[in-house]
A and B are shown apart, each in its own frame.
Chain A
């Protein structure tokens, strides 16, 4: 299981800015190790974000996204106390889901 994501959601006016720091190797499948063997690809394929359980964002990612990715987005109409959930699935089928409360 990967390390938890760090999620911060801050309300300003009628929108909430969500900032997510994910912990993932994001291996491209192009690199070789010191013995010259190809390191198999390992990356996040799908990211979803939900506001109080309703999906507000879906993203398809690929191997070109950097290690430990950072994602920022705004949610309109959200307010303090709401729940923001972010989840990802990688190409090995590993999953991770974390939640934050808007402040």
Chain B
């Protein structure tokens, strides 16, 4: 009886632990035209269902374009609004600095909410090794 109670306590403890740990997710965007609108929608839905998820969006190559000042989607609506709404919900948007050097762009050309990372691919690898789930919208 005592043993059973102990096992039960252990089971409850592990489920409580699993419930309290937040999911870490990295979204990989390297093509604004194909992924940006879809990716932002995915992240919004992701947070609606799992508000505690810790989401990092890593962008490089053509994927950085939607984080530039004044960037608009194919229908002409600006990206800045939806992006800052997600930042307010705890999402980090990171831009690859190698992409900036290769395309001669400056950090000032991007929206103020954006963060920077020395290399997009390295960042994605490090996040995954640290336990993040990988999603490429």
Which residues of A are in contact with B by a Cβ distance under 8 Å?
6, 8, 19, 21, 66-68, 70, 103
In the complex, whether B88 has a CB less than 8 A from a CB of chain A is yes
CB-based contact A6/B87 at 8 Å: no
Closest to A7 in B: B112
Number of A-B contacts (CB under 8 A): 12
Q: How far is the CB of A99 from the nearest CB of chain B, in Å?
A: 15
B88 / chain A contacts, CB cutoff of 8 Å: 66-68
Interface hub of B84, B87, B108, B112 (most chain A Cβ within 10 A): B112
B87 / chain A contacts, CB cutoff of 8 Å: 68
A8 / chain B contacts, CB cutoff of 8 Å: 108, 112
In the complex, whether B62 has a CB less than 8 A from a CB of chain A is no
| Chain B count of residues within 8 A CB distance of the other chain | 6
In the assembly, what is the distance between CA of A8 and CA of B111, in Å? 10
Interface residues in B55-96 by Cβ distance below 8 A to A read 84, 87-88
Knowing that A21-B112, A66-B88 touch, tell me 9 more A-B residue pairs with CB under 8 angstroms: A8-B108, A8-B112, A19-B112, A21-B113, A67-B88, A68-B87, A68-B88, A70-B84, A103-B108
A103 / chain B contacts, CB cutoff of 8 Å: 108
Closest to B114 in A: A6
The 5 A-B pairs at the shortest CB distance, nearest first, are namely A6-B112, A21-B112, A68-B88, A67-B88, A8-B112
In the assembly, what is the distance between CA of A62 and CA of B113, in Å? 23
In the assembly, what is the distance between CA of A16 and CA of B87, in Å? 27
In the assembly, what is the distance between CA of A53 and CA of B11, in Å? 61
In the assembly, what is the distance between CA of A3 and CA of B108, in Å? 19
In the assembly, what is the distance between CA of A66 and CA of B87, in Å? 13
A68 / chain B contacts, CB cutoff of 8 Å: 87-88
In the assembly, what is the distance between CA of A6 and CA of B108, in Å? 11
Closest to B111 in A: A21
Q: How far is the CB of A78 from the nearest CB of chain B, in Å?
A: 17
B108 / chain A contacts, CB cutoff of 8 Å: 8, 103
